[in-house]
Amino acid sequence: MSHTMKHLLSLNDLTPEQILDLLDLADRLKADTKAKRSHPILAGKTLGMIFAKSSTRTRVSFEVGMVQLGGHALFLSSNDIQLGRGESIEDTAKVMSRFIDGIMIRTFAHQDVIDLARFGTIPIINGLTDLLHPCQVLADLQTIREHKGQLQGLKMAYLGDGNNMANSLLHGAAKVGMDIAVATPPGYTCDPESIREAEAAAVLSGSKVLITTDPLIAMQDADVVVTDTWVSMGQEAEKAVKVALFGDYQVNAQRMTLAKPDAIFLHCLPAYRGYEVTAEIIDGPQSVIFDEAENRLHAQKAVLVRLLAPDYQG
C-alpha cells in the first residue's frame, strides 16, 4: 500500500487507508516508546514550528516527538520570524524550504497553511487553524480505537461550538466509518464545506452524519462523547454571549445518561470545568482525556515519519 502523503492540511485530503495507516504506525511507535526502544527514523531531519497561536500540547508534543525520532525541532514564534513583520508567506515558504525538512504551523487563517504548501517545496503540517485541527483528531481516533477496539460502526456525539475541532471530527469520523452527530446552538454550526465533505466521505464509508441543534438527539446511544471549549483563542470578547447560549450543550451527568453506559468522554484541552463539561464527567471514570493528550505525541510522530521519511516501510 502506498503511504504517500505530501502534507497534512486536512483529514479530508487523506484516504481512509492513509488515516488507518497513520493510526497503526502511531500504535507501533507508542509501543516502542513504552518499551524504551529507540526509533531514530528522522535522524538529521529538522522541523520548523511556526506558532502564531501559543500552545502547550502542540509545542511539547511536536518537539518531543522530533527528539524521540532522532531529529530536531525549531520553535518559531511570530516575534522570531519575519512572517510576523509583514514578509509574505510565499517568501517565507520558499526560504524555509531551503533550510529545513518540514514545517508545522499553528495559526489563525487556514489560508496561511494552504499558501505555505502551495509556495514551499517541503511538507506542511496543520498544527491548528481557525478552520481545522487534524492532528488532534488523529490522536482522538487513536484513543477511541485503544478503548473500543474499533472505529467503524461506533457513534460519536459532539456538543458545543461548531469550531475547528468539530470540523475535523466530522472529517475523521466520516472517513473511518464512524457515525457522528454534532449538536450546536443555532448560528454556531460547523463550516458548511466541512459538512459537505464529511457527508461525501460518509457515503463511501457507510457512516451517517447528523447536524442538529438538539443535544439530546445527538447524545442518544453515543459510544464516544466529545466537547471543546466554548470560547476559542481570539474569541474572548464573545465569552458572555456564548456562555448564555451554550448552557444546554454542557456535557454533564444528565446528558451522559443518554449515551451508552460504556461511553467514553474526550476533550482536546484546555478544559473549563463548569462550562462545556462538569468536573464529575471530565474527572470521572468515563473520561480518557489524558490518554487522548498523550496520543498527540504518538499520532503526530506517525505524521512526521510519513511526511519526512516517505521511504520508511515500518
Q: 188-235: per-residue pLDDT in tens?
A: 999 999 999 999 999 999 999 999 999 999 999 999 999 999 987 677
The confidence band for 1, taking pLDDT boundaries of 50, 70 and 90, is very low
Q: Are 156 and 173 in contact (CB under 8 A)?
A: yes
The confidence band for 84, taking pLDDT boundaries of 50, 70 and 90, is low
DSSP of 152-168: TT-EEEEES--SHHHHH
Question: Does residue 164 share a domain with residue 249?
Answer: yes
The catalytic site residues sit at: 106, 133, 136, 228, 268, 296
Question: Does residue 302 share a domain with residue 245?
Answer: no
Residue 263 maps to a domain: yes
pLDDT of 50 strictly over 50: yes
3-state DSSP helix/strand/coil percent for the chain, to nearest 5?
A: 45, 15, 40
CATH number at residue 264: 3.40.50.1370
Residue 3 maps to a domain: no
The confidence band for 83, taking pLDDT boundaries of 50, 70 and 90, is confident
**Domain range enclosing 193:** 136-292
Question: Does residue 166 share a domain with residue 237?
Answer: yes
Question: Does residue 146 share a domain with residue 15?
Answer: no
pLDDT of 108 strictly over 70: yes
Interatomic CA distance for residues 292 and 146, integer angstroms? 10
Question: Does residue 223 share a domain with residue 155?
Answer: yes
**What confidence score (pLDDT) does residue 132 get?**
98
Helix axes 289-308, 16-34, angle to 10 degrees: 110
Question: Does residue 253 share a domain with residue 165?
Answer: yes
Question: Does residue 281 share a domain with residue 260?
Answer: yes
Question: Does residue 81 share a domain with residue 163?
Answer: no
pLDDT of 293 strictly over 90: yes
Q: How many domains does the chain have?
A: 2
Residue 6 maps to a domain: no
Question: Does residue 142 share a domain with residue 285?
Answer: yes
Question: Does residue 112 share a domain with residue 163?
Answer: no
The confidence band for 238, taking pLDDT boundaries of 50, 70 and 90, is confident
Question: Does residue 298 share a domain with residue 262?
Answer: no
